[in-house]
Chain A
Amino acid sequence: MNPEKVVFGFFIVLSLTLNFGFFVGEMDNPEHHHVLELFAVIVVNLVATILKFGDRTQMGAVLLSTSLVAVLQLLAAALVWGVALYVTGTGTTSAVMASVVSLSGGAMLANVISVVLLIIETVMLRR
Chain B
Amino acid sequence: MDNIVFIVLRRMRAPLLWLVGVYALALLGLVLIPGQDAQGRPWHMDFFHAFYFVSFMSTTIGFGEVPYEFTDGQRLWVTLCIYATVVVWIYAIGTLLTLIQDRGFQQAITERRFARRIARLRDRFYLVCGYGETGGALVRALTERGQHAVALDIREERISALRLEPLREYVPGLCGDASRPRHLLAAGLGHPRCAGVVALTNDNQANLRIALATRLLHPDIQLICRADSRAVEANMASFGTPHIYDPFETFAAHLATALESPCLYLLNQWLSGEESDPLAEPRFPPHGRHWVVCGYGRFGKALVRRLTEAGLAVVVVEADPERTGRPTGEWVRGVGVDAGTLGRAGIERAAGLVAGTDDDADNLSIVMTARELNPDLFVVARANLEENQTLFAALSPQMVMHPASIVANRIRVLMATPLLSEFERLMMFQEETLACQLVSRLAALSSERVPVVWETPIDDEAAHALSVGLGESRPVRLADLLRDPRGREQALACIPLLLVRGRDRMLLPGEETRLHPGERLLFCGRPGVRGRMEWTLQNLHALNYVLTGESRPQGWVWRHLIKGR
A interface residues (Cβ-Cβ under 8 A, vs B): 35-36, 39, 43, 46-47, 50-51, 53-54, 56, 78, 82, 85-86
In the bound complex, how far is the Cα of B20 from the Cα of A53, in angstroms? 14
B48 close to A54 (CB less than 8 A) = no
Q: A35-B46, A56-B6 are in contact. Are A43 and B24 (CB under 8 A)?
A: yes
A85 close to B46 (CB less than 8 A) = yes
Closest B residue by C-beta to A50: B16
Binary per-residue interface labels of chain B (2-17) against chain A in the complex, 1 for a CB within 8 Å, 0 otherwise: 0000110111110011
In the bound complex, how far is the Cα of B9 from the Cα of A120, in angstroms? 25
In the bound complex, how far is the Cα of B28 from the Cα of A98, in angstroms? 25
Contacts of A51 in B (CB 8 A): 13, 17
**Distance (whole angstroms) from the CB of B138 to the closest CB of chain A:** 40
Nearest 4 A/B pairs, CB to CB: A54-B10, A53-B9, A54-B9, A43-B24
Contacts of A56 in B (CB 8 A): 6
Q: A36-B31, A43-B24, A46-B20 are in contact. Are A82 and B13 (CB under 8 A)?
A: no
In the bound complex, how far is the Cα of B51 from the Cα of A39, in angstroms? 11
Question: Counting chain B CB atoms within 10 Å of each CB, which of A39, A51, A56, A85 scores highest?
Answer: A39
List, sorted by A's number, 22 A–B pairs whose CB atoms are closer than 8 Å: A35-B46, A36-B28, A36-B31, A39-B31, A43-B20, A43-B24, A47-B17, A47-B20, A47-B21, A50-B16, A50-B20, A51-B17, A53-B10, A53-B13, A53-B16, A54-B6, A54-B7, A54-B9, A54-B13, A78-B47, A82-B48, A85-B48
B27 at the interface (CB under 8 A from A): yes
In the bound complex, how far is the Cα of B22 from the Cα of A46, in angstroms? 13
In the bound complex, how far is the Cα of B9 from the Cα of A11, in angstroms? 19
Contacts of B16 in A (CB 8 A): 50, 53
B interface residues (Cβ-Cβ under 8 A, vs A): 6-7, 9-13, 16-17, 20-21, 24, 27-28, 31, 46-48
**Distance (whole angstroms) from the CB of B44 to the closest CB of chain A:** 10
In the bound complex, how far is the Cα of B5 from the Cα of A54, in angstroms? 8
**Distance (whole angstroms) from the CB of A3 to the closest CB of chain B:** 14
Q: Which of A39, A46, A47, A53 contacts B47 (CB 8 A)?
A: A39
In the bound complex, how far is the Cα of B92 from the Cα of A50, in angstroms? 14
Closest A residue by C-beta to B27: A39
Closest A residue by C-beta to B32: A36
Closest B residue by C-beta to A44: B24
Contacts of B12 in A (CB 8 A): 53
Closest B residue by C-beta to A53: B9
In the bound complex, how far is the Cα of B27 from the Cα of A56, in angstroms? 33
Closest B residue by C-beta to A36: B31
Contacts of B13 in A (CB 8 A): 50-51, 53-54
**Distance (whole angstroms) from the CB of B8 to the closest CB of chain A:** 8
Contacts of B6 in A (CB 8 A): 54, 56
Q: A39-B27, A50-B20 are in contact. Are A82 and B9 (CB under 8 A)?
A: no
Question: Counting chain B CB atoms within 10 Å of each CB, which of A47, A54, A56 scores highest?
Answer: A54
**Distance (whole angstroms) from the CB of B424 to the closest CB of chain A:** 54
Contacts of A46 in B (CB 8 A): 20
**Distance (whole angstroms) from the CB of B335 to the closest CB of chain A:** 59
Closest A residue by C-beta to B24: A43
In the bound complex, how far is the Cα of B47 from the Cα of A43, in angstroms? 13
**Distance (whole angstroms) from the CB of A65 to the closest CB of chain B:** 13
Contacts of B10 in A (CB 8 A): 53-54
Question: Counting chain A CB atoms within 10 Å of each CB, which of B7, B16, B47 scores highest?
Answer: B47
**Distance (whole angstroms) from the CB of B89 to the closest CB of chain A:** 16
In the bound complex, how far is the Cα of B48 from the Cα of A70, in angstroms? 20
Contacts of A78 in B (CB 8 A): 47
Q: A39-B28, A51-B13 are in contact. Are A86 and B20 (CB under 8 A)?
A: no
Contacts of B20 in A (CB 8 A): 43, 46-47, 50
